[in-house]
Structure 1
Amino acid sequence: MDLFVCAECGTELTAPMSRVALPVHTHYGAWEELHPPLMEPATYAVDPRPTGPPWRLWEEVGEDEAARQGVYAPVPAVSFGARNRIVIAPGDSRSMALIPEKCAGYCQGLDGRDGPNLACEGCGRAVATRMDDCGSWQELWLEPDAVARRPSGHPAGPTPGWADLERAEHRVTPVEPDGSWSRRWEAAVGVALAHLVATTEGRPVTLPSGPVADLLGHAVARYLPDGPGARSVGLAGPEIPPPRPRPDVLLVPRHPLTGAPWRPLGDEDAVVPLDSGVWAYLAHPGETSPLPATGVLPEGVLRDDYPLPPRPWRQLTPHHCAFTETLVRLPAVRGPRLRRYHDESRRP
């Protein structure tokens, strides 16, 4: 396991932690809501792309410089913040104090608009940014040039791998206990749809029957047209081989440790990566029926020992920012067909 120390004075700034893949929903929360921590306790992740301030307007940046920042289609502003920032759960932080003049936020917490707002208690250097405002998961970002990674001396736990997807606790249910759609699902579906649009160049698709069509059908219909020449989509992953004949596109999980998409051995055809917890639910939803294993209950009789699953009042809708911000970061959007799709989708 690792821990992070102040690069200036060596003060320990975190608890021992293990690295995992950056969550797909990292930058996409729900407005006017308080969120739980982004990261599980004793874990950290690294974001390789530039994030946070300073920001520069697209008009002054231009396409070539924006592309060097990993943005391939017009956006209001491009981040020129640090790459490889480290995100942890706030509860895993140590020996840091808030910088009062850097604690701006919108309404419910801190949003990091002024840059790092936490200082090392050992030397006073700004080392991290706490974010917990509405629309943001509770998270703490360590600045890569202000901290150093060190071995903690604690033994590491089992390395996350494909086998984790078989565990019931790895599955992310699509509906929250209050009956609303999971914010993680909304973000994950938005990200996956951007990859699907890029892979198919905005052409129609057909989804496999079952959980994929039931849960994702409405979302796909919002972003892809109906019509002839549809690309077929299938679900595949560890212990679930691709259907035969192979669909044009496979929905596959991201690796829990590396974030890399799963692929069938020797298969280089199109895949669309999904949040591993979301994929695990689609592949292994578990028991969801309130009916007994054999026979049926009398007409009008409901069991009182099996709670009915909550039902949202609307169909699952992707997080639109997750979709658009993912799409502009895919190099394929520079192609004429996808660029036209992107430009038309931005029109009011």
Structure 2
Amino acid sequence: MDVFVCSRCGAQLTAPVSRVALPVHTHYGAWEELHPPLMEPATYAVDPEPCGPPWRLWDEVGEAGAAAQGIHAPVHSVSFGVRGRVVIAPGDSRGMVLIPEKCAGYCQGVDGRDGPNLACEGCGCAVATRMDDCGLWQAVWLEPDAVRRLPSAALPTAAPPCWDDVAAGPQRVAPVEPDGSWNRRWEAAVGVALAHLVAAAEGRPVTLPAGPLADLLGASVAGVLPSGPPARSLALAGPGIPVPRPVPDILLVPRHPLTGEPWRPPSGGAAVVPLDTGVWAYLALSGETSPLPATGTLPDGVLRDDYPQPRRPWRLFRHDQRAFVDTLTRLPAARRPWLRAYYEAHRHPY
């Protein structure tokens, strides 16, 4: 576990937190909607990509300059902002106060448009930005030059989970919200995964196995890849799930929740497409057999028939187009002629 302190005066600015992978939906929310906190309590993540101003036009930067910033396909402008910003849940912040003149937003909260809006209570130094306006996941972003990370004296650092631990207790994320809308984390996660799928399939058709994968994602895959033979095969794989035989051309696998690295099969061979672990777990692993407790009235393996009905969405699933296009621009493969041509044909305003 770590804590973050003010670089100027040393005051503690966070509760003890442990590092996890940056969520794939970090920068993708729904306009005119309030979102929950981005991070789980007692966790933090680091964004390795440049973020925010200053911005420079693509024509001014050039392809090589944009690639140095992690952008590999033409965009309107390229960020040359700070790297390494640290994000925590708002409830894990300590010893910070709002800077009133920096609290502008669109309509329902603050969005950081005027720069850091939280100051260290001890010395007044601007150290972080609270963001909670519509379309933004609620978060506190610590400025890397204004804070220091220290080991927590209160709580030791736990051993990182292995893939077997991830398989034993993943947090499954349901695709449909109680009001019948699609989960925004799902929309963003699928958009990111589709960009990796396009690159892995090299723009060729892909066949999905029958079941939840085809039911939920079939339309999205059909929207970004052509149909017809010869098609490449795709299947779910990961810890606790044997790789199908014969081995498919592409495996849809989870991202490690701490490192963000994709799971890879022991034998190698197949291309892998990483997917948000919670979304992958919903598709790949069975959940509870019943949300209602039963005490000794049913034998093992017998399922109840009085479960609550599954939630039904009020529209067809649509992946987050901005997440899809943005991920394409950050794939080094986007510099290859075929994927550059695909990107130019599929980029849309958003």
Change beyond 3 A, Cα 1:294–1:156: closer
Find the aligned partners of 1:165 and 1:315 in 2 and give their Cα distance: 30
CA RMSD of aligned residues (A): 2.1
Tell whether the 8 Å contact from 2:247 to 2:270 is kept in structure 1 after alignment.
no
Q: Offset of 1:168 from its aligned partner?
A: 5.9
Q: Which residue of 1 aligns with 2:43?
A: 43
Compared CA separation, residues 232 and 142, structure 1 to 2 (3 A)? same
AA partner of residue 138 (structure 1): Q
What is the deviation of 1:36? 0.3
Q: Structure 1 residue 147 and structure 2 residue 147: aligned?
A: yes
* Identity, % of aligned positions: 72
Deviation, structure 1 residue 24: 1.1
CA distance in 1, matches of 2:315, 2:169: 26
Contact 2:7–2:145 under 8 Å retained in 1: yes
State the secondary structure of the residue aligned to 1:170.
Answer: coil
Preserved contact between residue 29 and residue 136 of structure 1 (Cα < 8 Å): yes
In terms of mean alpha carbon deviation, does 273-282 or 55-64 score higher? 55-64
Give TM-score scaled by structure 1 length. Answer: 0.92
The alpha-carbon distance between structure 1 residues 71 and 189, as it changes in their structure 2 partners (threshold 3 A), is: same
Partner amino acid, structure 1, of 2:10: G
CA contact (8 A) 2:99 2:117 kept: yes
What letter is aligned with 1:144?
P
- Give, in whole Å, the separation in 2 of the partners of 1:99 and 1:219: 43
Deviations along 1:260-287, one digit per CA (max 9) or x if unpaired, are: 0000114153100000111111111436
Which one is further off, 98-107 or 276-285? 98-107
Kept in 1: contact 2:170–2:277 (CA 8 A):
no
In the alignment, which residue of structure 1 is the partner of 2:138?
138
Aligned residue number for residue 321 of structure 2: 320
Residue pair 2:170, 2:281 contacting (<8 A) in 1 also: no
Matched residue SS, 2:217 = helix
Q: Give 2:123's aligned amino acid.
A: C
Gaps of 5+ in 1: 297-302
Q: Contact (CA 8 Å) 1:53, 1:113: kept in 2 or not?
A: no
* Matched residue, 1:233: 234
Q: 4+ residue stretches of structure 1 with deviation over 6 A?
A: 292-296
Aligned to 1:96: 96
CA deviation vs aligned residue, 1:32-85 (integer Å, no higher than 9, x gap): 100000000000011111112222222322211111100011112211111111
> Relative to structure 1, is the Cα distance of residues 232 and 295 closer, same or farther in structure 2, using a 3 angstrom cutoff?
closer
Deviation for aligned residue 1:233: 0.5
Paired position in structure 2 for 1:244: 245
Cα distance in 1 for partners of 2:268, 2:11 equals 48
Mark the CA change 1:295 to 1:212 in structure 2 (over 3 Å): closer, same or farther: closer
* Cα distance between partner residues in 2 of 1:212 and 1:169: 18
Match of 2:333 in 1: 332
Larger mean CA deviation between 246-255 and 56-65 belongs to: 56-65
**Is the 2:54–2:80 Cα contact (8 Å) retained in structure 1?**
yes
- Kindly tell me: are residues 133 and 160 of structure 1, through their superposed partners in 2, closer, same or farther at Cα, counting changes over 3 Å? farther
Cα deviation, residue 104, structure 1: 1.9
CA distance in 2: counterparts of 1:125 and 1:295, whole angstroms: 59
Q: 1:56 to 1:113 in 2, by over 3 A?
A: farther
Residue by residue over 1:137-158, the C-alpha shift from the partner in whole angstroms, topping out at 9 and shown as x without a partner, is: 0011111111100111112345
In the TM superposition, what are the counterparts of 1:57-72 in structure 2 within 5 Å? 57-72=57-72
Partner of 2:117: 117
The separation in 1 between residues aligned to 2:87 and 2:233, in whole angstroms, is: 37
Q: Give the secondary-structure state (helix, strand or coil) at the position aligned to 2:280.
A: helix
Instruction: Report the Cα offset of residue 165 of structure 1.
Output: 3.6
Task: Select between 164-173 and 312-321 the one with higher mean Cα deviation.
Answer: 164-173
Is 1:34 aligned to residue 34 of structure 2? Answer: yes
Give yes or no for contact 1:52–1:113 (8 Å, CA) kept in 2.
no
Structure 2 unaligned runs (5+)? 292-297
Q: Could you tell me the TM-score, scaled by structure 2's length?
A: 0.92
CA contact under 8 A between 1:249 and 1:270: conserved in structure 2?
A: yes
Tell me the residue number matched to 1:300: none
Report how far residue 329 of structure 1 moved. Answer: 0.2
